[in-house]
């Protein structure tokens, strides 16, 4: 029984590590493509979306590192690993949100218009399809392991899916109407979603710390 449970746990950790590596690889490619074409076409929403992809990379690296150590049997340190992964992800989202707000504000003030947003449409459609599959598998593994960090990583992927929808709306809207500030509004929407995901990551990390403190306090009193 214990052997079966151990093997099952190791299999779940293996799947979590694979999902983290897939997240890292995909988002590096997506980030490079989005930042490259976003800068070339002066498309702020696509450029911001690419930066968000690199935040996904940070989250994926944190999860991969955590799972790798847990697979080596360092289970007693699991909570500290998960809190660290959550806070790294949250901080990265906050930095991204701040940068996007400043850039979008300057863009609106200067009346900036992108050259084209066709690549934003292409990238967003690919991302929506891929993230939908990735979220399903991350949620399944995260629930099986009862891991707040893996579930938070799934939330990051869900945020990426929402960001893809925002990017698609902003990019298609500009191509159809030619209204320049739609691109900047899309960037602001991406900033808001990034800020929200960062706050949720920190809330989960603080909640884990509180639970740990309460448990320690109860142990001391007993």
Provide the strand spans (E) within the chain: none
What is the distance between the alpha carbons of residues 163 and 154, in angstroms, rounded to a whole number?
Answer: 14
Q: How confident is the model at residue 25 (pLDDT cuts 50, 70, 90)?
A: very high
What is the distance between the alpha carbons of residues 83 and 95, in angstroms, rounded to a whole number?
Answer: 18
Residue reference for tokens 């609106």: 108
Please count the other Cβ atoms lying within 10 Å of the Cβ belonging to residue 57: 18
Nearest CA to 150 out of 32, 91, 49, 70 is that of 70
The pLDDT assigned to 191 comes to 83
179 neighbors 170 (Cβ within 8 angstroms): no
The pLDDT assigned to 173 comes to 87
**CB within 8 Å of 176: residues ≥ 6 apart:** none
199 neighbors 92 (Cβ within 8 angstroms): no
- Note the pLDDT tens digit of each residue in 198-221: 888 788 777 765 544 433 343 344
The pLDDT assigned to 187 comes to 76
Does residue 29 surpass a pLDDT of 90? yes
- Note the pLDDT tens digit of each residue in 168-178: 888 888 888 88
H or E element at residue 156? helix 148-177
What is the distance between the alpha carbons of residues 63 and 37, in angstroms, rounded to a whole number?
Answer: 29
* DSSP per residue, 180-200: THHHHHHHHHHHHHHHHHHHH
16 neighbors 146 (Cβ within 8 angstroms): no
| Mean pLDDT score, 7-19 | 84
């Amino acid at each position: 029984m214990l052997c079966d449970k151990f093997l099952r746990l190791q299999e779940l950790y293996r799947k979590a590590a694979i999902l983290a590596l897939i997240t890292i690889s995909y988002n590096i490619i997506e980030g490079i493509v989005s930042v490259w074409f976003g800068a070339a076409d002066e498309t702020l929403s696509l450029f911001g979306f690419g930066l968000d992809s690199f935040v996904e990379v940070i989250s994926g690296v944190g999860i991969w590192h955590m799972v790798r150590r847990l697979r080596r049997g360092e289970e007693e340190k699991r909570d500290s690993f998960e809190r660290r992964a959550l806070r790294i992800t949250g901080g990265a989202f906050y930095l991204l949100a701040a940068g996007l707000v400043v850039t979008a504000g300057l863009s609106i003030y200067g009346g900036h218009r992108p050259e084209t947003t066709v690549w934003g449409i292409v990238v967003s459609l690919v991302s929506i399809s891929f993230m939908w599959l990735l979220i399903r598998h991350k949620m399944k593994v995260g629930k099986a392991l009862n891991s707040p960090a893996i579930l938070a990583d799934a939330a990051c992927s869900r945020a990426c899916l929402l960001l893809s929808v925002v990017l698609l709306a902003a990019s298609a809207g500009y191509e159809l109407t030619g209204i320049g500030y739609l691109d900047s509004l899309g960037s602001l929407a991406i900033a808001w979603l990034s800020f929200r995901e960062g706050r949720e990551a920190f809330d989960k990390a603080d909640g884990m710390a509180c639970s740990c403190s309460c448990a320690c306090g109860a142990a001391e009193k007993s």
